[in-house]
Structure 1
Amino acid sequence: MSQDLAALMTTFMDDDDPQAALRCAADLRRVMERREAVVVRRARVSGLAWAEIAACLGVSKQAVHRKYAGSRLAGGHS
């Protein structure tokens, strides 16, 4: 886990200020969205189908395809 992510997790878990915790939750969401995009791109490049990626992420094929297809992640695999 990166130092930034670890710091965000610590702040999120330990902060008694609800506004600070909410801001931290938003920061964590952004970090994880970026990381997920990288992992999806790697999965597509390695040949995984949208259905396989969706299963790993626990979402429908349509959801993952809608979120990432049309970008450079689309690749040539279905």
Structure 2
Amino acid sequence: MTSVLDRPEDFAASALSGFCAAHADRVLAVPHGAIRAGAGAVGKVALVIGGGSGHYPAFLGYVGTGMADAAVAGDVFASPSTSAV
């Protein structure tokens, strides 16, 4: 569904919030991103990925069982700030 946003600076946070709400069984919202909802495998090294939000915060789709443990999203077409990690 297409929508018009009044404040482009709110886009990434709004998209993150919506994604986490739609997939609450798989991810939990955290500031500037999401983490896997379930516990990780014992001894597994945590994998955190990230990138800009572009048309949507696509990296959130890689968070889940057997994949990434967390994703950090930057603003539209911009990598996450080091202060966000």
Shorter-chain TM-score range: under 0.3
Higher helix share: 1
Q: Name which one, 1 or 2, has greater alpha-carbon Rg.
A: 1
Higher strand share: 2
What TM-score, normalized by structure 2, do the two folds share?
0.26
Higher relative contact order, chain-length normalized (CA < 8 Å, sep 6+): 2
What TM-score, normalized by structure 1, do the two folds share?
0.27
